[in-house]
Each structure stands twice: as C-alpha cells, then as structure tokens.
C-alpha cells in the first residue's frame, strides 16, 4: 500500500537472500550449521571497559543529552591515540568528531558533500555502506576496482579523469573488508596527491587497522603528509575492542569535512551516550593486552583457514590484517554457486564475493569471528567436499 521513496527503491537488491534461504533450509533439516558469514566478534568487551560503563551510567550528569560532536574528554582520548600510534598531532576541538559507530559517519558523510548526480568513488569489492549511502543521496557510486595482481590495492591511473574531477568523495578501506588487503604509507601518499589534484575528499575507513598479524603495524592515513588537507580517517572501537554493540567510533582529520558531517549530525542524531564515551576512553587509554590477545586469537584462526583452503586446492590470499580470509572459488563456479554448495554439502555459511560488488565475483569471504573450535570443524567439513 505504501510505496518506498525513490532513494530506497534505487538501492541494489539484497544479494544474500539466496544464502539466507539455503541456510534456513539446512537448519530446518537439522544440520548443525556453522556461520562464517558475519564479522561480529564473539569474545566479550574487555572487563575494565564494561566496569567503566557501569560506573559512568550511575552518574546523572551522563543521563542528559550528549554533545552532538562528542564529549571533549573522548575527543582528547582520540587525539592521544593518534599521537601514540602515528605521532600525529590533532586538535581535539576541531579535528575529531565522535560517531555512533563508524557506519553512522560513513553513511552521513554523503549528505554533507554529495549533490544528486555527482559521482562518489567506492572500492569494488567493498563494504556495501559506501555505495548505498551514496545512492540514498542521489549520488552515483563509481566502483574503483581492487586488483588481485596489485595486492588488492586500487590502480589510481585507471580512474577516469573526468570522473575524478566531478567526484566529491572517495571512500577507501584498509585493512580491507572483504579482501584483507593493507595499505602502505607510500600508497596513502599517492592518495593525498590524487585527492589534491582532483579536489576530492578522501575518506579512509580504518575499522580494522589494529587487527593485524605477524607483528605488522598498519599506517594511519593521517600520517601521510598533507592528509589533513584532503581528508579524514574514520575509526571505530567495534573491532579493536569487541564493542560492536556499543556503537562508538570517530572521524578525525580535515576540519571542514568534520564541520560538514557535524552539520548533518546536529539535524539527525544527538550524539553518543556519554557513559559509552567514558567507557571508550577506558578502552583507548587503558591496558592494550586484550587487543594483543585478540590478535593472537585471530592469527591462529587465520592460519587454520588459510591452510585448510590451500589443502582444498583453492587460491587463498593470506591477510596481514582484518577479520576475514578472501579466497577464489574453484573454476566453473560463480561465487553464489560455490557458497551454496558449501552450505548444502558442508553446512558452512560463507559470503559470496558478489555481495561486495561486481569485483567480488569469483571470490568468497570467510569470517574469523567464530570460536576457534567451530572454525576448525568448519574447515574439516569443507575439506571433504568434491568439486
């Protein structure tokens, strides 16, 4: 009876319906399905962070409307974090904005900077929010292919000049969901150069920058000289501290970009719960042993999955960071067909690459955010598969 607005009808079809249907059917048949589809950590938030929330929730001062740009205390903690991580000096008053999770900031950014019909550069394959948030404001997502032969970094020379000139925003995501690719500081310097040349805003989504393996340290975009002039980094406590349910993140970098995002936020939300921001400070400033432990857990799981997929004869791309393993499907299958086969014949759910854009066709993604024992079992079952 009620028609959705054009902006909703313009969204691409939901690509996981087939996976969901097959999963539901397998569960109904009594199969003990192991879901390696979603990326949501199973380990709890560090206990000192939970304790800080409880304490802060008792204080009536935190029961009132928070500031839409975030409490200065939290923004100062973010500035300290950048100083420790990247030796980058930020003014917490103007160069940091609290977000209700990274997704909130990513989705609101096009509202501030993109007019109908203007292109937005999005990674392909990539997190669907960049593309869909662009569509919702009437912008045109322009997929920038992440090339297998280049370690899934984009080829900037392949971006047409006339598109780059008209584009306002450029979404980047390293470490990458879904490919696990990581960026170098050299690459970020190229990004700054490109953004400057074409006058576009670079937005680096660093949600996985602290989930790294083998001692690898992922650079911050803001370390690249000139980054503060052309863009922002968006970050989140979700993956680093197992806080997906808490909804806390930040945007840091260029003041004008943050001002634009802030203008949208004043009209849409009223900021993150202050008690959650105090807990966030405890996470950022407190002991980082839980983060180290979590890295060790993921690294063990990564090795189990990489080895298992290799034993199956598949071409797998061992990640240096992130919570996922990206893998080629065997010859003769589409990504959806192979994922369907894994569900039906092994009771294991993974994500078909096509769900992340056309550039994801021919690949599937395995999430490491399940208990290690379950992951081991999933790999054992997959190894028995004939294809």
Ligand X SMILES: *Cc1c(COP(=O)(O)O)cnc(C)c1O
* Positions that interact with ligand X (CB under 6 A): 39, 101-103, 127, 173, 177, 205, 207, 236, 238-239, 244, 249
Measured in whole angstroms, the distance separating CA 330 from the mean position of its chain's CA atoms is 26
Q: How far is the CB of 253 from ligand X (least distance, A)?
A: 16
H/E element holding 249?
Answer: strand 249-253
Closer Cβ to ligand X, 107 or 192, answer by number:
107
Closer Cβ to ligand X, 198 or 213, answer by number:
213
Closer Cβ to ligand X, 95 or 209, answer by number:
209
Closer Cβ to ligand X, 102 or 144, answer by number:
102
Q: How far is the CB of 383 from ligand X (least distance, A)?
A: 28
Measured in whole angstroms, the distance separating CA 289 from the mean position of its chain's CA atoms is 23
CA triplet 262, 159, 186: central angle to 5 degrees? Answer: 75
Measured in whole angstroms, the distance separating CA 82 from the mean position of its chain's CA atoms is 19
Residues contacting 293, CB < 8 A, separation 6+: none
Q: How far is the CB of 46 from ligand X (least distance, A)?
A: 17
Q: How far is the CB of 205 from ligand X (least distance, A)?
A: 5
User: 15, 19, 21, 40: which is closest to 342 by C-alpha?
Assistant: 19
Q: How far is the CB of 271 from ligand X (least distance, A)?
A: 15
| Residues 39 and 324: beta-carbon distance below 8 Å | yes
Closer Cβ to ligand X, 62 or 351, answer by number:
351
Q: How far is the CB of 138 from ligand X (least distance, A)?
A: 23
Closer Cβ to ligand X, 207 or 370, answer by number:
207
Closer Cβ to ligand X, 173 or 254, answer by number:
173
d(CA 270, CA 290): 31
Q: How far is the CB of 39 from ligand X (least distance, A)?
A: 6
Report helix, strand or coil for 284.
helix
| Residues 308 and 325: beta-carbon distance below 8 Å | no
User: 208, 203, 218: which is closest to 242 by C-alpha?
Assistant: 208
Tokens of 280: 């966030």
| Residues 377 and 346: beta-carbon distance below 8 Å | no
Q: How far is the CB of 322 from ligand X (least distance, A)?
A: 8
**Interstrand relation of 348-349 and 34-35 (parallel, antiparallel or unpaired):** parallel
Closer Cβ to ligand X, 27 or 42, answer by number:
42
User: 239, 192, 242, 200: which is closest to 220 by C-alpha?
Assistant: 192
Partnered with residue 147 across adjacent β-strands are 153
């Amino acid at each position: 009876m009620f028609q959705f607005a054009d902006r909703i009808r313009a969204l691409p079809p939901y690509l996981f319906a087939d996976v969901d249907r097959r999963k539901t059917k397998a569960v109904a048949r009594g199969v003990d399905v192991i879901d390696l589809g979603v990326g949501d950590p199973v380990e709890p938030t560090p206990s000192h962070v939970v304790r800080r929330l409880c304490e802060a929730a008792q204080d009536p001062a935190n029961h009132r409307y928070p500031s839409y740009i975030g409490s200065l205390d939290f923004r100062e903690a973010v500035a300290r974090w950048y100083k420790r991580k990247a030796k980058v000096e930020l003014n917490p008053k103007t160069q940091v904005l609290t977000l209700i999770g990274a997704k909130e900031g990513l989705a609101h950014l096009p509202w501030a900077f993109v007019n109908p019909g203007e292109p937005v550069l999005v990674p392909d394959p990539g997190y669907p929010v960049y593309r869909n948030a662009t569509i919702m404001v009437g912008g045109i997502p322009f997929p920038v292919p992440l090339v297998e032969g280049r370690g899934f970094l984009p080829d900037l020379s392949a971006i047409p000049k006339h598109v780059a000139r008209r584009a306002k925003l450029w979404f980047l995501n390293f470490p990458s969901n879904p490919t696990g690719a990581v960026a170098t500081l050299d690459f970020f310097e190229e990004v700054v150069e490109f953004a400057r040349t074409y006058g576009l805003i670079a937005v680096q989504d660093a949600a996985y920058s602290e989930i790294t393996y083998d001692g690898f340290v992922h650079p911050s975009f803001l370390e690249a000289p000139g980054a503060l002039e052309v863009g922002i980094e968006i970050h989140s406590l979700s993956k680093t501290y197992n806080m997906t349910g808490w909804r806390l993140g930040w945007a840091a970098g260029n003041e004008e970009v943050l001002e634009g995002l802030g203008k949208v936020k004043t009209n849409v939300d009223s900021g993150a719960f202050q008690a959650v921001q105090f807990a966030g400070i405890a996470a950022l400033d407190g002991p980082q042993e839980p983060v180290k432990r979590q890295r060790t857990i993921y690294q063990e799981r990564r090795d189990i999955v990489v080895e298992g997929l290799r034993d199956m004869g598949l071409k797998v791309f061992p990640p240096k960071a992130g919570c996922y393993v990206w893998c080629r499907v065997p010859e003769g299958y589409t990504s959806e067909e192979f994922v369907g086969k894994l569900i039906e014949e092994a009771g294991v759910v993974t994500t078909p690459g096509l769900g992340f854009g056309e550039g994801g066709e021919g690949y599937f993604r395995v999430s490491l955010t399940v208990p290690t024992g379950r992951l081991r079992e999933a790999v054992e079952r997959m190894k028995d598969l004939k294809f």
